[in-house]
Structure 1
Amino acid sequence: MPERPKHIGVDSFFAERKKLLNAYDEAKQQAVDDAVKTEHGVTGEAEVRRWLQSFLPKRFGVCKGYIISTNLQFEGPLEEWDVLLYDAIESPILFSRGSSNQNDAELKRAIPVEHVRGVLEVKATLTPAMAMKSSNKLLKLQQYIGENRYADYPQYLTEPFICAAMFIETKVESLEQYRRALDNLAVLYQYQSMIPFMGALVVRSQRNHDHSGYLQPLRSDNPIAFPDVFEMSSNFQCHDGWHGVFGTLNWGVNNYPTFLFDLLASIRGTRSQRVSSFYGLDFENSQASKLFRPTGDTD
């Protein structure tokens, strides 16, 4: 039998992406007359949590909530995180906040620091301002990172642990604005020795709605000078001397499953340089796109 370009079940796998986007678009449409349009962002967060709950193995819990440490030098205040991924088998829930009529995706839970496996910062749109907000929030994870002197009484995050950013869609008007957004996220790689940042997923491109972007660093021993056609961040240098740019060389359908399975492998502690999984990959629809033309003009 000839090989098919995608395995059985791929289309149903991508239906989960469509379900997330439909809920987000419905909330955005309902808020079209509101003076301050925030409901779609709240809905986007809740849908991301629901989506991850349905995807991840049951050993991992998904919630909005707080990281709690027994470190007596931690002064607070408690930070509220959009998405916490935690060891649901081993972790107690120290306390919950929310009304009794809220579902699991909306309740806020307090998780002991040693059981947290991942933190995701979720924004509705990728813009320079929202990228900066995501970076600033994830940088606050530094207060939970340190050396656990006593294995039985950890006060800091323990491996495996990863953090990432998610944006439901792009909302940039020019290549220069998009690059500023990437530059704001790339700041996190200057702290890579402390904060294990795996990158960002943009669920929907503003140019091709079927395409997603998986934003990651490209590393080099020498400075990287990418022309605008590659739509990458400015060149930056990290503490260990390597140079990099941040972004995605192409937008396409397979960035969505690749991010998901990289996230799963990361919180399992099994991620390597290889492809994390072939599940969800669609080689039939392998066309790639960019956000902008080389001149910076959109279609």
Structure 2
Amino acid sequence: MEELQFQMPAQGWSQFLIARKKMLDEFDRAKTLSKKHIVQTSHGNVAEAEFRKWLGNFLPKKYGVTSGYIISTGISDLENTPHFDVIIYEHLEAPILWIEESPDNSKQGSSLAIPAEYVKAVIEVKSSFARSTVKSGIEHLRELSKIMSGIDAPDERYKKYLPRDFFCSLVFFELRKENEFDKGAINMMVDGYSLRGYSGGVILRGSGHSKDNTGHISLLNSQQPIISSLEKPERSLLGPFTLSDTIKIDENSYFGAMLDWAEPNFSKFAFDLVALLNGTFESGRISSFHALGTTEWADAKKK
């Protein structure tokens, strides 16, 4: 029997993108309804709930997905406990300290309180990619600073910190045409570089894209400063790729960010999450060939 060879596009690549489309369809529906409200916030809540629903269905069942609180025995009960949009935790191991039911009693809306040592990742979900939303997302992730500031010894009985392999990122549902030249948005993404496990983020949709492109935002480390590609008047955040300005860390280290748009980026994001959770992620290497595909690859295969 002939040995199997990797096929491009991979089986189910277009079906995998249906989950992305469902999230965006529900988001658009909520946006339309929220226009009738004085305070238009409901579509943001729908974005969070739909993303948690997709993630909970996609991830291996040893991982749980919830909104809620991260609790540490090293933090005083007099301090406010921040609420996070998406917490990924060890579903089979973690005790649930308490549950806050949502008004509609939906599983996606309930908030759980998880001990810090069982939390694998935190993801902040925003409706749109803009300077203000990136800033608020990173500022919220910084509220984890105390429990990011140390690592418990392997034999520590009474753990206080997030685990060594913890990571965090940002998810935006769309980049609107009105924000396509917002250099501050891509520059602001770099500000998260000091957060432990910060992995950038994704934008599920770009205004005007004819294909099912997802924007992937990655961090770059350079020995030389880089000037944002948006300095060129013809460049846009909706173009194939965009470079941010860099910030200087020390004499030979600069951090920047790159945004690129492609159909396989949703699959790459999804399987990078799995690899990060499983401890198999390698920077610069594709985490999985599952669900990788493009319209061009599919058309070429038909010929």
Q: TM-score, normalization: structure 2?
A: 0.86
**Partner residue of 1:200?**
201
- 1:199 maps to amino acid: G
Q: TM-score, normalization: structure 1?
A: 0.87
> Alignment partner of 2:37: what SS?
coil
- 1:217 maps to amino acid: L
1:249-273 CA-to-partner distances (Å, cap 9, x unmatched) read x311111111111111112221113
From 62, 85, 92, give the equivalent of 1:89. Answer: 92
Question: Does the Cα contact within 8 Å between 1:125 and 1:171 map onto a contact in 2?
Answer: yes
Q: 2:188 & 2:6 partners in 1: Cα distance?
A: 43
1:99-137 CA-to-partner distances (Å, cap 9, x unmatched) read 485121110000000000000000001111111101111
Unaligned segments of structure 2, at least 5 residues: 236-240, 299-303
**Partner residue of 1:213?**
215
Q: 1:94 & 1:3 partners in 2: Cα distance?
A: 45
Q: 1:71 to 1:241 in 2, by over 3 A?
A: farther
Deviation beyond 3 Å, 4+ runs, structure 1 = 1-5, 72-75, 283-287
Q: 1:239 & 1:214 partners in 2: Cα distance?
A: 26
Alignment of 1:237 onto 2:248:
yes
From 225, 228, 253, give the equivalent of 2:227. Answer: 225
From 148, 151, 157, give the equivalent of 1:147. Answer: 151
Question: Does the Cα contact within 8 Å between 1:159 and 1:269 map onto a contact in 2?
Answer: no
Q: 1:172 to 1:284 in 2, by over 3 A?
A: closer
**Partner residue of 1:138?**
141
Q: 1:187 to 1:100 in 2, by over 3 A?
A: closer
Q: How many residues align?
A: 282
Q: Cα distance, 1:222 vs. partner?
A: 1.5
Question: Does the Cα contact within 8 Å between 1:166 and 1:201 map onto a contact in 2?
Answer: yes
Question: Does the Cα contact within 8 Å between 1:64 and 1:108 map onto a contact in 2?
Answer: yes
Q: 1:97 to 1:241 in 2, by over 3 A?
A: farther
From 250, 263, 271, give the equivalent of 2:273. Answer: 263
From 158, 165, 171, give the equivalent of 1:160. Answer: 165
Q: 1:155 & 1:243 partners in 2: Cα distance?
A: 32
Aligned positions of 1:3-152 closer than 5 A: 5-73=8-76, 75-99=78-102, 101-145=104-148, 146-148=150-152, 151-152=156-157
Percent of pairs with identical residues: 30
Q: 1:74 & 1:265 partners in 2: Cα distance?
A: 35
- 1:263 maps to amino acid: L
> Alignment partner of 1:238: what SS?
strand
Q: Cα distance, 1:239 vs. partner?
A: 5.6
Aligned residues: CA RMSD: 2.3
1:45-85 CA-to-partner distances (Å, cap 9, x unmatched) read 00000000110000000000000001155752000000000
Question: Does the Cα contact within 8 Å between 2:151 and 2:163 map onto a contact in 1?
Answer: no
**Partner residue of 1:246?**
257
Q: Cα distance, 1:147 vs. partner?
A: 3.4
> Alignment partner of 1:119: what SS?
strand
> Alignment partner of 1:216: what SS?
strand
Question: Does the Cα contact within 8 Å between 1:61 and 1:86 map onto a contact in 2?
Answer: yes
From 280, 283, 290, give the equivalent of 1:279. Answer: 290
- 1:227 maps to amino acid: S
Question: Does the Cα contact within 8 Å between 2:116 and 2:161 map onto a contact in 1?
Answer: yes
**Partner residue of 1:290?**
none
Q: Which 10-residue stretch deviates more, 44-53 or 265-274? A: 265-274
Q: 1:32 & 1:246 partners in 2: Cα distance?
A: 33
- 1:206 maps to amino acid: S
Q: 1:109 & 1:135 partners in 2: Cα distance?
A: 22
Q: 1:140 & 1:50 partners in 2: Cα distance?
A: 24
- 1:8 maps to amino acid: Q
